[in-house]
C-alpha cells in the first residue's frame, strides 16, 4: 500500500497529515472521536539528526494538546551514515527520539508504530521499536541488522548465519521473523479497512509494561528472553 492509501484507509473522515522531505507529520480524528498525532518517515528516507529532532519536536509539542494516541508510520532506510551526522552525535539524537516516544507513552499518549515499508538498524530502533506496540502491514521489510553486518559483529560467516536464519528468527530479517520474536505485535490485513483494525487495537492495547519478550516466548521466536528478564527482576528486588 502507498502512504496515501494507508492514510485514506486509516482516516476515512480526512486528515491533515503531510510528507515533507520524507518526514511525516500532522493529525487526524479517529472513529472513537480522539485526535491522534501522526508522525513518521516516508519514501525510505534515512533518519539523521535533522529528521530525528523534527520528529521529537512534533511529539513534545503535542504533549499538552490532548490525550489521544500517537501513530508513527515507518518506511525508512537505516540511520543516515554520514560524517556530518556522526560528528553531530547521531546516536544521541536517535536516543532522544526513542526516549521522547517512551516518555509520551508512559504519560498518557499511547504510541503505535505502523511499519508499512522498509526500515533497518538505528532508524527502526528509534521509531517503530520505541513504541508500545508495533504493527506491520504485509509487504513490510524490516531488518534490525542485515546478515553482512551481523557477520562482521559475530565473526561468523554469512553462510553460517544464513543456515541459522532458517531455524532461528533472531538471525533472520523480515516481517514474519520480527513477529515471531514479539517485536511486531500484530500484522494487519491490508485488504480490510485499517480504521477498523486501529480501533480494535486501541480497544485491546496491552499495558505500558513491555510484553515483547513474553510474546517472543509464546510464538517460539525468543525462548529465553522472558525468563532471563524475570530472573533479573527477581534478583534486583532481593537486593533492595
Neighbours of 176 (CB within 10 A): 14
Whole-angstrom distance, CA of residue 196 vs CA of residue 203 = 11
The pLDDT, as a whole number, for residue 170 is 78
Q: What pLDDT, in 10s, does the model give residues 61-92?
A: 999 887 889 999 999 999 999 999 999 999 99
Q: Residue ranges of the domains in the chain?
A: 3-138+188-208
The predicted structure's pLDDT at residue 5: 94
Q: Quote the pLDDT of residue 208.
A: 59
Can you list the residues of the chain whose pLDDT is less than 70? Answer: 207-209
| CATH code of the domain occupying 3-138+188-208 | 3.90.226.10
What pTM, to 2 d.p., does this model score? 0.89
Q: What is the pLDDT of residue 131?
A: 95
**Nearest Cα residue to 30 out of 191, 204, 194, 208:** 194
Q: What is the pLDDT of residues 131-169, one digit of tens each?
A: 999 999 999 999 888 788 888 888 999 899 888 888 888
Amino acid at each position: 500500500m502507498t502512504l496515501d492509501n494507508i492514510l485514506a484507509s486509516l482516516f476515512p473522515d480526512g486528515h491533515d497529515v503531510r510528507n515533507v522531505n520524507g518526514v511525516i507529520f500532522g493529525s487526524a480524528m479517529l472513529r472513537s472521536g480522539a485526535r491522534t498525532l501522526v508522525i513518521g518517515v516516508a519514501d525510505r528516507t534515512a533518519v539523521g539528526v535533522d529528521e530525528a529532532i523534527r520528529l521529537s519536536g512534533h511529539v513534545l509539542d503535542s504533549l499538552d494538546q490532548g490525550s489521544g494516541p500517537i501513530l508513527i508510520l515507518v518506511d525508512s532506510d537505516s540511520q543516515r551514515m554520514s560524517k556530518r551526522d556522526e560528528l553531530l552525535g547521531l546516536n544521541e539524537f536517535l536516543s532522544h527520539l526513542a526516549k521522547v516516544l517512551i516518555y509520551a507513552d508512559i504519560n498518557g499518549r499511547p504510541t503505535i508504530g505502523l511499519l508499512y515499508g522498509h526500515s533497518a538498524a538505528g532508524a527502526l530502533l528509534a521509531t517503530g521499536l520505541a513504541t508500545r506496540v508495533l504493527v506491520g502491514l504485509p509487504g513490510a521489510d524490516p531488518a534490525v541488522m542485515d546478515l553482512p553486518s551481523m557477520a562482521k559483529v559475530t565473526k561468523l560467516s554469512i553462510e553460517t548465519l544464513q543456515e541459522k536464519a532458517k531455524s532461528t528468527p533472531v538471525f533472520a530479517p523480515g516481517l514474519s521473523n520480527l513477529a515471531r520474536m514479539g517485536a511486531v505485535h500484530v500484522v494487519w490485513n491490508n485488504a480490510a479497512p485499517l480504521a477498523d483494525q486501529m480501533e480494535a487495537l486501541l480497544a485491546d492495547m496491552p499495558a505500558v509494561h513491555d510484553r515483547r519478550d513474553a510474546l517472543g516466548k509464546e510464538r517460539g521466536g525468543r525462548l529465553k528472553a522472558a525468563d532471563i528478564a524475570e530472573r533479573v527482576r527477581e534478583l534486583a528486588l532481593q537486593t533492595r
